[in-house]
Amino acid sequence: MNLTGNTILITGGGSGIGRALAEQLHQRGNQVIIAGRRSALLDTVTAANPGMNSLVLDTADPASIANAVARLTQDFPALNVLVNNAGIMRPENLRKPDTADAEAIVATNLLGPIRLTAALMPHLLKQPAAAILNVSSGLAFVPLAYTPTYCATKAAIHSYTQSLRYQLKDTAIQVIEIVPPWVATELMGPAPTDPRAMPLDSFISETMQLLATGAEEICVERVLPLRRAPASGSEAAFFKTFNDALSQRH
C-alpha cells in the first residue's frame, strides 16, 4: 500500500488505534476522514489535526452506513482506502441466558465491516488503486475466554479478509489485515497500565513500518506468539496458559 496521496476513511477513528492510525496517515499527506458514533470525540480529533475531516457513522446501523456512503462518495470522489477499525469488546458470562452484548458485538465488529465494504465496493472498484484494511486481533487465533464473542468476530474478520483478498485478486484493490496484540487503549475502559499491553505509539510505529513493506498481513512482533500458536502443534496448552495468566486481571 502506498502510504501517501490517498483519501482514507477510518472507522472508529475517534480514539485508540483508529485515531493513532488516522494521525499518522494524515501526517504523511493523505486526506483522512475519521468516522464514529460520538461527534464530540471526532471534533476533538479533527481540531487537533487541521485538515482532517470527520463523519458521524454507526457501523451497526445499515441506514447510517447507507447515508454515510452516499455523502462520502459525493464529497470525496477520490476516496480509495477503507480502514475497518471500529469495534467493541465486552466481557460475557456464558452461563447466563443473555445475548444482548453478543448481538451488539457481532453487529459492530462483523456485520459493520461487511456492510460498509459492500456499500463502498462499487466506488472502490472504480479507483486506479485502492485498499481495504481490516483490523482483526491476535485473539482471532487464540481466544480470550473472558470475551468470547469479540474473539469470534475477529476470527470471522480474519476469514472474511482472506476470502475478500482472493475474490479481489484481479482488481486494483489491495486487501490488508492488521492483527494487533493487546494494545494499551481504552477499548474496555481506561487504558491498561499492565506492562503486557503494548504501548499504542510503539504499536503504530511498527505497524506503519510493516505497511510500507507491502505486506498483506500486518503482525507486529508482540502478536506473533498468538498468530503462530495454531500452527505450533501446542495450541491447547497455549490457550490454557494464556487464559490462566490473563484471568488474573479479571
User: What residues are labeled active site?
Assistant: 150
Match 491498561 to its residue by C-alpha cell.
192
**In terms of residues, how long is the chain?**
250
Distance of CA 185 to the CA centre of its chain: 13
Cα gap 230→245, rounded to integer Å: 18
Beta-strand runs (E) in the chain: 7-11, 31-36, 53-56, 81-84, 130-135, 173-178, 217-218
Largest CA distance in the chain: 52
* DSSP at 129: S
- 199, 17 contact by CB (below 8 A): no
Q: Which three cell numbers stand for residue 185?
A: 487503549
**Which is it for the CA torsion 205, 210, 214, 219, positive or negative?**
negative
- What is the three-class DSSP state of 219? coil
Looking up cell 493523505 gives 30
